[in-house]
Amino acid sequence: MSDGHSILLTNDDGIDAPGIATLREELTALGDVTVVAPDGNQSGVGRTRTHTAVVREHPWGYALGGTPADCVAYGLRGLDTDFDVVVSGVNDGPNAGNYVVGRSGTVGAGIEAAFLGTPALAVSAYHSTDFFLSPPEEYDFGRPARVAVALVERALLSGVYEDVDLLNVNAPVDSPEPPVMLTEPHHDYGQEVVEIDEEEGEGELAPDEHRVELHDRTWPDAVGWENPFPLAETHRDRYPVGSDRRAMVDAAVSVSPLTVTHAVPDSARLADVVETLEVE
């Protein structure tokens, strides 16, 4: 499709995941789609990069033995193609909240693209009752994929990417005609540290060592992979209108614009500290 867009597609669930297959099929309506995706699951790696990767040819493009950010770096700098946009997904499960967004491999691919000067969109799927899509093969990723395609097309046409580097999208698979909300990642994060009895761990510990578990508390009243939605009314009160998590509680599509410029804040206090600091 020579008169369409040139699209680089990746994900963090792996090149054999159902979400990327559905998204690739939908994206072909916009132009030429080249897939460079991890050869296995790379969920939760953020923007981690590796130095050496094995690249294997694939009917859709390439499978790469590395992270989503590696895939984007290889696609944008290792292939003889000028891509108009990078699309990452469809991820199995949501990427909402500032902490989760920061560690997501799906979003990390978009951040890598933005640093390399190419606009990007990351799209993740959730179920308004089941929350995570497990097993993913039993769910239809069609709606999130179509949302992503529509947003990519309109964002490129309207010049959105002159102001925004990356769009982070969460879309329900089950809500018919869901509303679309402009959002921002919710700003919260919790961490629980649990001491483990020496008998419960593997391997012996030295006298000055002890073992702990670190549990992320990214949703109130939900630990690990449990579903946070049964207490929907409670969550709705906790999350303000305009946050990505509020949109998910309301079974809506959340669209969060992100930038990677890392703007420098103007801090008079810091300027005073630097000006008066004496190094001996």
CA within 13 Å, CB half, 115: 13
Contact 61, 8 (CB under 8 A): no
Contact 133, 126 (CB under 8 A): yes
Rounded Cα distance, 172 and 128, in Å: 6
Task: Name 32's bridge partners.
Answer: 6
Q: What is the DSSP letter of 243?
A: B
Nearest in space to 218 (alpha carbons), one of 152, 151, 132, 155: 132
Rounded Cα distance, 262 and 206, in Å: 42
**Annotated binding site for a divalent metal cation, which residues?**
12-13, 43, 91
**Annotated binding site, which residues?**
12-13, 43, 91
Contact 44, 109 (CB under 8 A): no
Upstream peptide bond of 90 is cis (omega within 30 degrees of 0) = yes
For 127-130, the CB contacts below 8 A with 24+ separation are 127/172, 127/173, 127/174, 128/172, 128/174, 128/175, 128/229, 128/248, 128/251, 129/174, 129/227, 129/229, 130/174, 130/227
Task: Name 159's bridge partners.
Answer: none
